[in-house]
Chain A
């Protein structure tokens, strides 16, 4: 069977080989991402050096970047639109909080445990609801999130119910870095976890698994026709994404040392979706653009128009969905290509 697909398969000319290699590098390669990765790393370092008073806000941005990145895997890559992703963020947050109080205040093991718990909940709920598609699926994600929200609310003795989970005290990271008031440790801790999370995400979307997920987004019928187990692949993506969201939630619990039910609301799921749409869904760096832009906008707008800021966010969302389908990143890419086209 190795002999090629066609009778008398052609011998490739040297010229052809060179074109092939150029295309393969473009499709498989990472070069075009390198500079963007470098810029993001630089921004993090600059923020660390120049904005020590904003460490807490910046850590929050990192945490949301990780959360939105996990959402991107579902919405952007697998094509599964969900309104219940905050459920996994919340599960991770509560798992990390409870682990710190009842088991061990050691942060790294807490992070791992919270990730696994969220992934397990993702696997279980995904196994049920991924049998459906489209609107039914969307509604079921909402339902699952509501159920989990209510469970956490009712289990007041364990979770503190509407008062939130108090009394979380974290041990120093790796036994040396104490969580401080200025948020210095929280900043570095969240940044490192974000980078590790991103590297994992990148690995996933570049792997055969990740490409098959995109294939399912593009054409699930055809994926079935080429023998790919669509349901299992989506379940895999759902579980991975839930785990990542759990990591983000755990980070929030550990750095804030407090968890409230607000981590798991519909607003949080919707907000994450808006951040992703702002940045650009299905793009590697959509989350890294959308989250800071949204949080900055929210900060500025709510200061100048404390009553109407939601309106302005909404208006911008409508404009982006209407005129810039791929978000800010899409606009940027288009401008870049235009510019390059003119100077080529």
Chain B
């Protein structure tokens, strides 16, 4: 069907999206390798968020194909893609604000174990879910706020809950949409510490403005400019690329 390397878990070829006459995503060929730490960067308006929305199924592409695990998911609904193992976080916190932290994290675990339609006889699996949820929030060092309402905890902690919810689905691919958004760069190391502890088996695509974080975390970087891929390479190569410097003009 195409020359997909077997070690790529998420692949796009010729992915294009038009909004009227405006081409926001322009024939993007992209490979996310299994276990990758891949960053997607680019100036404002480069089409990063549109690309994420195409990958997660919120938007339909005008042309092109998306494969996950060599399966064509171009037409799959967002829910189906989640079941395929593609999880995401949101740039703006998208949490269950009135619920406690532990309940927030239990929500995806229940969904992942297909318990959501159970009314009777789910007592023990429910307890199991909440135990796992507690385990997960310990990994994020959130145990001290476990039974606080999410709306009442610090913003930085809410950012961690945002990631924990996505991780609760046990995704194969985790798309992090600006995990450090709203966090002062002096404190983004907290996010970085958490990201570094994520299991190696999860392939990660990170979109981020904080270049410090990107260059410390990613092993591969794709630069997107005006909807098209400028280049994909190692952090060092990207940092020294003349075209990238031009695009960012002194940003690094």
A282's nearest neighbour on chain B, judged by CB, is: B98
Cβ A1 vs Cβ B95 within 8 A: no
Cβ B110 vs Cβ A203 within 8 A: no
Cβ A27 vs Cβ B100 within 8 A: yes
Among listed B6-14, B75-83, B211-219, B237-245, interface-contacting one: B75-83
A208's nearest neighbour on chain B, judged by CB, is: B115
- A208: B residues at CB distance < 8 A: 110, 115-118, 122, 125-126, 129
**Least CB distance, A297 to chain B, in whole angstroms:** 29
B interface footprint on A208-230 (CB within 8 Å = 1, 0 otherwise): 11111011001101111111110
Known A-B contacts A5-B139, A10-B138; the reply to A212 vs B97 at CB < 8 A is: no
A3 to B117, CA, bound (A): 26
Cβ B120 vs Cβ A207 within 8 A: yes
Contact of A24 among B96, B116, B130 (CB under 8 A): B130
* B200 touches A (CB below 8 Å): yes
**Least CB distance, A325 to chain B, in whole angstroms:** 12
A287 to B56, CA, bound (A): 41
- B139: A residues at CB distance < 8 A: 4-6, 9-10
Q: List 22 A-B contacts (CB under 8 A).
A: A3-B199, A6-B197, A16-B138, A20-B134, A20-B146, A23-B146, A23-B147, A26-B147, A27-B102, A204-B119, A207-B118, A208-B110, A208-B115, A218-B99, A219-B94, A219-B96, A221-B94, A222-B90, A224-B78, A226-B82, A229-B79, A233-B117
* B176 touches A (CB below 8 Å): no
* A39 touches B (CB below 8 Å): no
CB contact list, B85-128 vs A, under 8 A: 87-88, 90, 94-100, 102-103, 106-108, 110-112, 115-120, 122, 125-127
> In the complex, given contacts A28-B127, A215-B99, A225-B56, what are 12 additional A-B residue pairs having Cβ atoms less than 8 angstroms apart?
A6-B197, A19-B143, A24-B127, A24-B134, A209-B116, A212-B107, A215-B96, A226-B108, A226-B168, A227-B78, A227-B112, A228-B116
Cβ B135 vs Cβ A9 within 8 A: yes
A interface residues, how many (CB within 8 angstroms): 42
* B71 touches A (CB below 8 Å): no
Name B's A-contacting residues (CB within 8 A): 56, 78-79, 82-83, 87-88, 90, 94-100, 102-103, 106-108, 110-112, 115-120, 122, 125-127, 129-131, 134-136, 138-139, 143, 146-147, 165-170, 197-200
Cβ B126 vs Cβ A227 within 8 A: no
B194's nearest neighbour on chain A, judged by CB, is: A6
CB contact list, A213-270 vs B, under 8 A: 214-215, 218-219, 221-229, 232-233, 236
A225 to B107, CA, bound (A): 11
Cβ A211 vs Cβ B110 within 8 A: yes
* A7 touches B (CB below 8 Å): yes
A299 to B87, CA, bound (A): 55
Most chain A beta carbons < 10 A, residue from B79, B94, B127: B79
A221's nearest neighbour on chain B, judged by CB, is: B94
Contact of A226 among B125, B138, B169 (CB under 8 A): B169
Cβ B127 vs Cβ A5 within 8 A: no
Cβ B199 vs Cβ A6 within 8 A: yes
- A212: B residues at CB distance < 8 A: 107, 110-111, 116
A224 to B94, CA, bound (A): 11
- A135: B residues at CB distance < 8 A: none
- B115: A residues at CB distance < 8 A: 208
* A49 touches B (CB below 8 Å): no
- A209: B residues at CB distance < 8 A: 116-119
Name A's B-contacting residues (CB within 8 A): 1, 3-10, 12, 16, 19-20, 23-24, 26-28, 203-204, 207-212, 214-215, 218-219, 221-229, 232-233, 236
The secondary structure that dominates the B interface is helix
B118's nearest neighbour on chain A, judged by CB, is: A208
Most chain B beta carbons < 10 A, residue from A208, A223, A233: A208
Known A-B contacts A27-B147, A227-B83; the reply to A4 vs B117 at CB < 8 A is: no
Most chain A beta carbons < 10 A, residue from B78, B82, B136, B199: B199
Cβ A20 vs Cβ B131 within 8 A: yes
Known A-B contacts A9-B139, A27-B130, A209-B118; the reply to A228 vs B199 at CB < 8 A is: no
- B110: A residues at CB distance < 8 A: 208, 211-212
- B100: A residues at CB distance < 8 A: 27
A19's nearest neighbour on chain B, judged by CB, is: B143
A222 to B197, CA, bound (A): 24
A196 to B174, CA, bound (A): 45
Cβ A227 vs Cβ B130 within 8 A: no
B107's nearest neighbour on chain A, judged by CB, is: A215
Most chain B beta carbons < 10 A, residue from A4, A203, A228: A228
- A227: B residues at CB distance < 8 A: 78-79, 82-83, 111-112, 169
Known A-B contacts A7-B197, A19-B143, A28-B126; the reply to A207 vs B119 at CB < 8 A is: yes
Most chain A beta carbons < 10 A, residue from B102, B138, B165: B138
A22's nearest neighbour on chain B, judged by CB, is: B147
- B119: A residues at CB distance < 8 A: 203-204, 207, 209-210
A183 to B87, CA, bound (A): 58
Cβ B134 vs Cβ A23 within 8 A: yes
**Least CB distance, A28 to chain B, in whole angstroms:** 6
- B88: A residues at CB distance < 8 A: 225
Q: 8 closest A-B pairs (Cβ-Cβ)?
A: A227-B82, A218-B96, A208-B115, A226-B108, A6-B139, A207-B119, A212-B116, A222-B94
B144's nearest neighbour on chain A, judged by CB, is: A19
B200's nearest neighbour on chain A, judged by CB, is: A7
